[in-house]
Structure 1
Amino acid sequence: MVTPLRDARLVSDFLEMMAAERGASRHTLDAYRRDLEAYQASLHAAKTDMSHAGPDDVRRYLAELADAGLAARTQARRLSAVRQFHKFIYGDGIRNDDPAAHIDSPRLGVVLPKFLTTDEIDRLIDTANRQDGIKGTRLLTMVELLYATGMRVSELVELPFSAVARDPQMLVVRGKGNKERLVPLSAPAKRALVTYIAIRDAFIPLDGGGKPGKSGYLFPSRGKTGHLTRQMFLNMIKDLALKAGIAPSRVSPHVLRHSFASHLLANGADLRSLQQMLGHSDISTTQIYTHVIESRLRGLVQEHHPLAHRKPG
């Protein structure tokens, strides 16, 4: 018998556990909820539910994802959600088995991070610097902060004002798992931040008396979240790229994060320091950026090593 309400309760219990015990952020919880709802819909279409699904049901769900054309990385992420969910209800004694325990993940190719050149970053920042008004000031500050720190876009838009109120030399960033990290600010980012703070009140919703109210966010807005949203900032970045003569499809907040990491490594930063600044829990995640070093070294060898210029004998 299919039990949609029971499945919904199990998903809710799982999400509560992820929030309470693992410190999962709202964005992480939303992603898990969407992935598990898709899994639940697949099971219900097959006349079963989360309490009775077997390994073949999990494999069928993965096959549906592949048939729908989802990338292997997306399939793997959704399988991870299913695995963690089933591990949770097995551990809580709701089931006496785990149907996802021995399901193989889709094979993933190595996807190298996309990043902009330093010249393109300069064009982007120069263009932001030429935008008029308080919105231009805000945009420049957000781009400078993102490129200077390598923050995730969610970390940027949700930055509390207290993160910069005391010492603009360093930025306190609260990342995944509610962990805090200190990230140094570049001189241009500090200048932009000081200029922006002077006009920040203009973005705070007005109170009943027609005066700016209060906001705990560095980038407040009049929307329901109380801060500038990720989608709004994405739109702003795309528009900026167009004005800078860069294809908007090549520019996103995550590309700026990749650019920060790639450019630091190319200029001699060590992986451990980069790991801390990016907020990676595992250095293996950071190691993907070593492609920059490898490419640079190959270029140096090709340009300077005498054997690289020998003609075939």
Structure 2
Amino acid sequence: MSTAVKASVLSRAQRGKGGASGPGPIDRFLDAVWMERGLSPNTLAAYRADLTALERWLDDQDIELPAAKRGDLLAFMAARVQGGARPRSTARQLSSFRRFFRYLVREGQLREDPTAQIAMPKVGRSLPRSLTEEEVEALLAAPAVGDPLGHRDRTMLEVLYATGLRVSELVNLKLAQVNLNQGVLRIVGKGDRERMIPLGEEAMQWLQQFLQGPRVEILLERQTDYLFPTRRGDRMTRQAFWHIIKRYAKKASVAREL
């Protein structure tokens, strides 16, 4: 990249963090990755746009960009999702944030990377890849949502579709793992490794509706920590959920093997 082009890329969207007091954290990061990797102007511009959007949002919360915590990043991503951002766009932003905060850790400016436990949003969604978009929509629409169990099933399908969870993770979800304020699920995997998975707007709406009525109707006065109980108030098994999916696939005239 020529010096003139680099200067053009790096001079856009200058913030009060730089200027007379020297380059701000975004500019220093862009200088570093350009020197190390010789990235294209388009890539540098994308990093700047993503980081500037985050910085402006954090400014409204009176938080400096380098001081952002995991919860701040999740709240920003949830706001983006609620505003209609698609998984591909959210994934690209998270990739930019990861590179930026890893740079700060490497430079000794941070002790921990706040993006380390945030899962990358699924760009391709987790219902079987062999299904067409029309078949997926038909499958999602198959449950009779006027019935509490049908509403539960639709919500489970929407969450599966939006997050890319494994079926075992879906059926084992507990209420404490859902944060609708931040729009995320907290998943604990092997070795007790925790990751945060952003929910899409559609899945959040179905979850909110499910928690406000159908789940209560399913349980009656019984208690369970599991998010998606059976009609007896128990935890659903993987096998039971796959049976449900196959039943709805038949109803939706989805002929492919699931």
| Superposition TM-score, scaled by structure 1 size | 0.38
Richer in helix (by share): 1
Q: Which has the larger radius of gyration?
A: 1
| Superposition TM-score, scaled by structure 2 size | 0.46
